[in-house]
């Protein structure tokens, strides 16, 4: 009886151990711990474009730069260049263009008019030189100064010409042309009709070609011909006189000889 009890307990222990071993073998392994995925690096911030620096190292554009600062237009241009996707295109006259400006004078403009004139020199969009070929077919293009301040463009075999009504000029060089900023040098100050009116003075006529006339002392072809003909006629008349003199001398000699024979 005691032996049977021990046998039953031993079998029960063996079954329990077997069950535990089988359960550990059949259970799937625990999943490996997932490592966190790396956070993507932020996109680099666009490089800040300093318009003051670009205009200071080129040109000289000191006069235009002074107007940008005094009218606070530089803040508007800087914001457009660095905080918009459209970018900006600026047309910059050299210092000599302002010195050559006699009439009309900028000194008679009000502060608002002067600010509008400086805003008139920029377009709120980036344009390469190749883009102006398409702009020439679109008619007047609005500028930063507003709706009434427009420019007309003409592309003549790769040379970009601008017409503001009062000013007709061309792009003489590209100072900077990398998105989002394009800066082009022009030969004249852009004068808008919205400020100076539509009574535009006529364009000066081109200077006439110099008249190269022969000097008074130099004989002309006609005078040379007349002199040569007069010389030939005088020589002909002299030869005729010599011939006539020879004939008359022979007649006189013949008469004198005949008279001597009859003596």
Structure tokens at 53: 């620096």
- Per cent of the chain over pLDDT 90 is 45
The pair of structure tokens assigned to 164 is 């503001």
Q: What is the pLDDT of residue 125?
A: 96
Q: Is the pLDDT of residue 17 over 90?
A: no
Q: If you compute the radius of gyration of the chain from its CA atoms, what whole number of angstroms results?
A: 52
Place of tokens 């008139």: 120
User: Which pLDDT score, from 0 to 100, does residue 71 have?
Assistant: 96
Q: Is 60:93 a contact under the CB 8 Å cutoff?
A: no
Residues 66-80: what's their mean pLDDT? 97
Integer angstrom CA distances of residue 137 from 70, 149, 152, 161: 35, 18, 9, 13
Greater model confidence, 173 or 21: 173
Query: What value does the mean pLDDT take over residues 176-190?
Result: 96
Q: How far apart are CA 53 and CA 128, in angstroms?
A: 21
More confident position, 232 or 90:
90
Give 23-63 pLDDT, tens digit per residue: 555 455 555 556 666 666 655 556 899 999 999 988 789 99
Q: What band does 105 get if pLDDT is binned at 50, 70 and 90?
A: confident
pLDDT given at position 221: 47
- The predicted structure's pLDDT at residue 44: 56
pLDDT of 197 reads 80
**pLDDT recorded at residue 137:** 84
Read off the pLDDT of residues 120-164 as tens digits, 9 standing for 90 and up.
999 999 999 999 988 888 889 999 999 889 999 999 888 999 999
DSSP for 210-233?
P-----TTSPPHHHHHHHHHHHHH
Question: What's the pLDDT tens digit per position in 160-174?
Answer: 999 998 889 999 999
| Candidate from 56-65, 80-89, 108-117 with smallest mean pLDDT | 56-65
Binned at pLDDT 50, 70 and 90, residue 11 comes out as low
Calculate mean pLDDT across residues 70-93: 97
Report pLDDT digits (tens) over 195-252. Answer: 988 666 555 555 555 555 555 454 554 544 544 444 555 555 555 555 555 665 666 5
Per-residue pLDDT, averaged over 89-98, amounts to 95
């Amino acid at each position: 009886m005691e032996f049977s009890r021990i046998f039953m307990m031993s079998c029960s222990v063996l079954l329990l151990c077997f069950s535990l071993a089988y359960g550990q073998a059949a259970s799937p392994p625990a999943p490996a711990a997932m490592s966190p995925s790396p956070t993507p690096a932020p996109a680099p911030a666009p490089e800040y474009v300093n318009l003051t620096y670009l205009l200071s190292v080129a040109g000289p554009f000191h006069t235009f730069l002074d107007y940008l600062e005094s009218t606070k237009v530089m803040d508007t241009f800087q914001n457009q260049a660095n905080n918009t996707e459209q970018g900006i295109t600026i047309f910059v006259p050299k210092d000599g263009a302002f010195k050559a400006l006699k009439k009309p004078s900028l000194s008679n403009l009000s502060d608002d008019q002067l600010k509008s004139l400086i805003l008139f020199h920029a377009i709120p969009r980036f344009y390469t030189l190749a883009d102006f070929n398409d702009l020439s077919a679109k008619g007047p293009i609005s500028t930063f100064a507003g709706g009434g301040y427009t420019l007309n463009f003409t592309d003549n075999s790769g040379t970009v010409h601008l017409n503001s009504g009062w000013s007709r000029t061309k792009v003489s060089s590209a100072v900077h042309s990398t998105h989002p900023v394009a800066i082009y040098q022009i030969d004249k100050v852009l004068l808008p009709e919205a400020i100076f009116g539509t009574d535009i003075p006529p364009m000066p006529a081109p200077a006439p070609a110099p008249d190269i006339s022969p000097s008074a002392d130099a004989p002309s072809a006609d005078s040379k011909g007349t002199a040569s003909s007069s010389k030939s006629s005088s020589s002909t008349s002299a030869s005729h006189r010599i011939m006539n003199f020879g004939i008359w001398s022979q007649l006189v000699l013949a008469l004198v000889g005949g008279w001597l024979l009859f003596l």
